[in-house]
Amino acid sequence: DADVTQTPRNRITKTGKRIMLECSQTKGHDRMYWYRQDPGLGLRLIYYSFDVKDINKGEISDGYSVSRQAQAKFSLSLESAIPNQTALYFCATSDFTGGRIDNEQFFGPGTRLTVL
């Protein structure tokens, strides 16, 4: 079974709709991240969370919100989807071993979102 899973894998929606993307992990990691990928722009961080009570904005958080329901679950919501939010969305996790700088993240398979 995959360590990091995302649902749905593909979604087509209309402008103005509310969308939720879900991420679950079995790696036991505390840190979870949501990224957006657009062609030629690499991965851009939307939100990240270090534990259930710790949520932080990334570089492109406008128009998005998140919920960390449990250590293993981190959801991304688009309250009112717009066409320029069409992109590939990745969830990732990482471990933290007391002072060591994170240098490896584990990614889910991605969700391809199209907003018409």
Partner 1 sequence: GQSLEQPSEVTAVEGAIVQINCTYQTSGFYGLSWYQQHDGGAPTFLSYNGLDGLEETGRFSSFLSRSDSYGYLLLQELQMKDSASYFCAVPHSSASKIIFGSGTRLSIRP
Residues binding partner 1 (CB under 8 A): 33, 40-45, 48, 50, 56, 58, 90, 101-110
Tokens of 19: 């969308």
Cβ neighbour number for residue 96 with a 10 Å cutoff: 13
Nearer to partner 1 (CB atom), residue 37 or residue 80:
37
Nearer to partner 1 (CB atom), residue 17 or residue 30:
30
Residue 85: strand, helix, or coil? helix
Shortest Cβ distance from residue 86 to partner 1 (Å)?
16
Nearer to partner 1 (CB atom), residue 64 or residue 90:
90
Which residue, 86, 90, 92, is CA-closest to 115?
Answer: 86
d(CA 40, CA 101): 27
Shortest Cβ distance from residue 104 to partner 1 (Å)?
5
Nearer to partner 1 (CB atom), residue 56 or residue 80:
56
Which residue, 86, 85, 112, 90, is CA-closest to 25?
Answer: 90
Shortest Cβ distance from residue 84 to partner 1 (Å)?
18
Shortest Cβ distance from residue 82 to partner 1 (Å)?
23
